[in-house]
A = this chain, B = another copy of it.
């Protein structure tokens, strides 16, 4: 059901080809040659589409779906449904993500050919690099093979970008060394000066910001994000970490591998996150704090202390989630009493 104005399908594919590619088992083996033309939600899928059933909350939609084929688990497949083909697997949501990628690869064939881009004489472009109109590649920058620079994006002097990266329109990248398979969405600024000042008698003196931003492989960064470069050391973003829209990463912050930071999160200077940390939207962390591995931080929390591995925290200041909920309930209970209640 993807809009043909915006997405170009690589399909159709046969059910056998899909099952082989993603490691699922086609229950109706006799339908292996059946072609499916698109992916769609259960309730919107037509007779040529493939869909997914991964959540018992959608049992009614599963029962009524007209999809040609549905990806689901052995357990869920036992629920009532029409005469569709069933692709069995352990993790339907993940398998459906792979099938979506088969139909619609994230990196499409190159369409831009450097017309209207500004490339410095000593910049180095790998094979099949794509530069949209108005893109600017400054002195000494290096761009790896097959990477795509969006319209009016700016790759600053000396920046190194790996292979198979996608930089969105109107991004501004400077003072950064970036790995492979990195995606940065539109209007994001990487490598700006950190917010470091030394107080003087009459105000503030800006401290030189002489570090860099180091970004690993398979990193995913949203729209309108700001990642500052280090002051003397570097700001570091580990492999596989994902930042949603409007996130702020201050100078000298270090994010581990596989972290997931939701929209509008802010991390103050020199704070370190371990691996696989998850932060809800609008959460923030103080400067110079150390967060362990696998920590989960609730949306809108404010973290002001070091946090050990595996903690689940929330609130302002953030505390273990269980305590936070108990405090919320306690306050609600106390407020329901009349002040004139005597005992309280």
User: Contact residues of A with B, CB < 8 Å?
Assistant: 1-3, 5-7, 39-41, 44, 91, 93-94, 96-98, 100-101, 103-104, 106, 111, 115-116, 118, 132-134, 136, 138-140, 150-152, 154, 156-158, 160, 168-172, 174-175, 183, 185-189, 192-193, 195, 197-200, 202-208, 210-212, 218, 220, 222-226, 228, 232-233, 240, 242, 244-246, 248, 250, 257-258, 260, 262-264, 266, 268, 276, 281-282, 284, 286, 299-300, 302, 316-317, 319, 323, 326-335, 339, 343-344
Can you name the residue of chain B whose Cβ is closest to the Cβ of A331?
A: B327
| Residue of B with least CB distance to A284 | B282
Min CB–CB distance A54 → chain B (angstroms): 9
Question: A207 contacts which chain B residues (CB < 8 A)?
Answer: 93, 96-97, 100
Complex CA–CA separation, A103 to B246 (angstroms): 33
The answer on a CB contact under 8 Å between A245 and B264 is no
Q: Could you tell me if B327 and A335 are in contact, using CB atoms closer than 8 angstroms? A: yes
Indicate whether A134 sits within 8 Å of B106 (C-beta atoms), given known contacts A97-B207, A250-B263, A266-B264: no
Closest chain B residue, CB of each to CB of A92: B198
The answer on a CB contact under 8 Å between B175 and A185 is: no
Evaluate contact between A170 and B154: CB separation under 8 angstroms: yes
Interface of A is mostly: loop
Cβ-defined partner of A268 (8 Å) among B132, B154, B204, B281: B281
Known interface pairs A97-B205, A188-B224, A203-B258; 15 further A-B residue pairs with C-beta atoms within 8 A, sorted by A's residue number: A98-B205, A106-B206, A116-B118, A152-B170, A154-B169, A154-B170, A168-B192, A169-B174, A192-B223, A204-B260, A206-B220, A226-B245, A228-B245, A246-B246, A281-B284
What are 16 A-B residue pairs whose CB atoms fall within 8 Å in the complex?
A3-B175, A6-B212, A39-B232, A94-B205, A96-B207, A118-B134, A150-B172, A168-B172, A192-B223, A195-B244, A195-B245, A223-B228, A246-B246, A264-B264, A282-B302, A316-B316
Which residues on the B side are within 8 Å of A1 (C-beta)? 210, 232
In the complex, chain B residues whose CB is within 8 Å of the CB of A156:
169
* B245:A192 contact, CB within 8 angstroms: yes
Interface pair B282/A189, CB less than 8 Å apart: no
Q: Which residues of B contact A202 (CB under 8 A)?
A: 240, 258
Cβ-closest chain B residue relative to A342? B343
Q: Which residues of B contact A220 (CB under 8 A)?
A: 206
